[in-house]
Amino acid sequence: METSWLDFEKPIVELEQKIRDLREFADREGLEFGEAIHKLEVKAERLRREVYSNLTPWQRVQLARHPRRPYFLDYLDVLFTDFTELHGDRCFGDDAAIVGGPARFEGRPVMVLGQQKGRNTREKMARNFGMPHPEGYRKALRLMRLAEKFGMPLITFVDTPGAYPGIGAEERGQSEAIARNLREMAGLRVPILVLVIGEGGSGGALAIAVGDRILMLENSVYSVITAEGCAAILWKDQAKAPDAAAAMKVTAQDILNFGIIDGIVPEPSGGAHRDPAAVTQALRDEIRRFLTEHASLPVDQLLDARLAKFLRIGVYAETA
Amino acid sequence: MTGEGTGSMAEGSEPKGKNDGSPAPPGTWVKCPGCDEILYRRELEQTEWVCHSCNHHFGISRDGISVEEYLGLLLDPGSFIELFGGITSVDPLGFKDSTRYKDRLAKATATGRREAVITGRGNLDGLPLHIAVMDFGFLGGSMASAVGEKITRTAQEALRAETPLVIVSASGGARMQEGIFSLMQMAKTSALLGRIAAAELPYISILTHPTTGGVTASFASLGDVILAEPGALIGFAGQRVIEQTIKQKLPEGFQRSEFLLEHGMIDRIVPRREMRGVLSTLLRQFMDARAVRGAA
């Protein structure tokens, strides 16, 4: 058994493997195990339903970070054609934690960008685990401006633990880079679709996530700080991350209930990694729908609606 | 970060391990966090809470300059009118760690403060403006729904009345107890500042000790001009988080005003006593120029 399965997935994955092995054996030997296989399949289905219909917030966080979960580039390859990656912020450098450039979606020119985590150790290092530096956010802004210039709708894929907290990031103005993107995205004169596909980690996620329509994959999460970070500060104990994840209400369903996002893109039972093709198809439908609905709106109407959407967010009391 | 785990993200970010955001006995004497000298409170009030010995600028908090004193420093006497003072925090998530968020709010409110920011309008040398001053003494000046709403409404008033906007920041960052609502205030306030910019109204951001996390990564960094008090801690990530990430000690002066000036991230360092004059000069120039163009 490979180690990249989560503890609560293992019994399911093992049972599924057993069914596959049995079927192979039956085929090879020309034996009839139909009934036995059927029984196991019923059991597997029951087990899947048991585990996946009662996921805790922490389990959602684990699924959102799953080592097998499809990343931005996995979707990019399948959903878009003619993608040309463009590099650099024209100020300091290129940040591999953010990838972007013009492409076509079903023939239509769009600008697409997102965070990329990296699959193996070497890739993870190169992409800094998907934690951008200021130059990443500035590259993103440069591409957004390019999209605006040529009237290309912008599609962003959000998947980051957060903006990188390091000396260089502070020296080069991590705060300024994030803040500027928030302001500029709010006023960008093209339609913006935001897809949270994994971890929506704090300001580092938000800096590419101001848009007209914001969707989250079913098992993605969105939070003001990582569960570990919150636990370390408020519980004085990182091991309390599951409690922090529950308390902060980070799941897609929570965020939808709060009225902060516009919808949830369903994942196959067990998560996106169990059937990437199905998730990709669901995303394709959403992108097509967005482009159909938003492409022809007058820009000023689009921007007023975008502003109003964010001005509504917040829960407070008010007395005269 | 106050000593009570207020939920700010910049814990452990106080100078030399001192904590000038925490409650001190309201005695006659105050120990300077900068140089450890014992200072006479009455004298500190007369020097705008700046240490005569080491120039340490006490932060906007319970143990330092109050929001009211800071407003008095910047505005014409008696000109401040508070707006949106009735907007206060609630507990949208039913959040509980070692303490309930509701109880933290009640305790913070018991000090006589209502929220981590005070907003309103006033005049500076006769020039009308809208202003927000954050209060580190209220849950570490943390960004909550109410904070975002008050700042946004104040900016909307500036837009409507065509006045400049001034925000004086002092914050440990997000108020984690409000989860995603806290995060989204960054987008909300920044989005409206886009409209202020489009209307060509000046927005000046004043950074005081400390300004970190979500506040730095939104409105505090978006000023047409960014002024900082000397020695203020200003940054995105908390120092402990950075040290844990990079596994090394941070250099002396890291994330201080002087460091930011050197790296081109702020326009000027302005001692508290001179802040009013610099602010007045800049705002008058911008508004005069705007009026000339408007008349042309």
DSSP B193-230: HHHHHHTT--EEEEEEEEEEHHHHTTGGG--SEEEE-T
Is the pLDDT score of B15 beyond 70?
Answer: no
For residue B43, count other CB atoms closer than 10 A to its CB: 11
Residue in B closest to A128 by C-alpha: B245
For residues A58 and B6, the model is more confident at A58
**What pLDDT is attached to residue A312?**
97
Tokens encoding B178? 């409000």
What is the number of CB-based contacts under 8 A between chain A and chain B?
A: 206
- For residues A280 and A274, the answer to whether their CB atoms sit within 8 Å is no
**What pLDDT is attached to residue B25?**
53
Q: Return the closest-CA partner of residue B124 out of B74, B54, B177.
A: B74
For residues B119 and A36, the model is more confident at B119
**What pLDDT is attached to residue A215?**
98
Distance between CA atoms of A156 and A138, rounded to whole angstroms?
Answer: 14
Q: Which positions 237-296 of B are in contact with A (Cβ < 8 Å)?
A: 237-238, 241-242, 245-246, 250-251, 254-255, 259, 263-265
Q: How many domains does chain B have?
A: 1
Q: Which positions 90-109 of A are in contact with B (Cβ < 8 Å)?
A: none
For chain B, percent of residues with pLDDT exceeding 90: 80
CB contact under 8 A, B183 and A206: yes
Q: Which positions 187-216 of B are in contact with A (Cβ < 8 Å)?
A: 187-188, 190-195, 197-198, 214, 216
**CA neighbours closer than 13 Å in the CB half-sphere of residue A195:** 25
The CATH class that applies to domain A61-312 reads: alpha beta
Q: Return the closest-CA partner of residue A152 out of A88, A86, A204, A199.
A: A86
The confidence band for B245, taking pLDDT boundaries of 50, 70 and 90, is: confident
For chain B, percent of residues with pLDDT exceeding 70: 91
Residue in B closest to A162 by C-alpha: B237
pLDDT tens digits for range B251-293: 999 999 999 999 999 999 999 999 999 999 999 999 999 999 9
**What pLDDT is attached to residue B26?**
61
Tokens 């002087």 found at: B258
**What pLDDT is attached to residue A310?**
98
**What pLDDT is attached to residue B1?**
34
Give a yes or no: residue B21 inside a domain: no
Is the pLDDT score of B13 beyond 70?
Answer: no
Return the domain boundaries, chain A: 7-54, 61-312
Q: Is the dihedral of CA B285, A184, A147, B265 positive or negative?
A: positive
**What pLDDT is attached to residue B11?**
37
CB contact under 8 A, A314 and B145: yes
Give a yes or no: residue B11 inside a domain: no
- For residues B94 and B251, the answer to whether their CB atoms sit within 8 Å is no
Distance between CA atoms of A215 and A202, rounded to whole angstroms?
Answer: 16
Residue in A closest to B181 by C-alpha: A314
CB contact under 8 A, A224 and B98: no
SS3 category, A93? coil
Q: Which positions 184-203 of A are in contact with B (Cβ < 8 Å)?
A: 184, 186-187, 202-203
**What pLDDT is attached to residue B164?**
98
Residue-range definition of the domain harbouring residue B192 = 29-295
Closest CB to B190: pick one of A186, A254, A255. A186
Give a yes or no: residue B220 inside a domain: yes
Binned average pLDDT, 10 residues per bin, chain A of 320 residues: 80 93 90 88 91 93 96 98 98 97 98 96 96 98 98 98 96 98 98 98 98 98 96 93 97 97 95 96 98 94 98 95
Give a yes or no: residue B42 inside a domain: yes
Show residues of chain A in contact with B155, CB under 8 Å. Answer: none
Q: Which of A214, A228, A234, A235 to mutate to test the interface with B (most CBs of B within 10 A)?
A: A234
- For residues B164 and B204, the answer to whether their CB atoms sit within 8 Å is yes
Q: What are the backbone angles phi and psi of residue A93, rounded to the nearest 5°?
A: -175, -165
Which DSSP symbol is given to B177? Answer: G
Map A27-70 to HEC letters: HHHCCCCHHHHHHHHHHHHHHHHHHHCCCCHHHHHHHHCCCCCC
**What pLDDT is attached to residue A66?**
96
**What pLDDT is attached to residue A3?**
66
Is the pLDDT score of B18 beyond 90?
Answer: no
Q: Residue B109 belongs to a domain with what CATH number?
A: 3.90.226.10
Q: Does B109 touch chain A (CB under 8 A)?
A: no
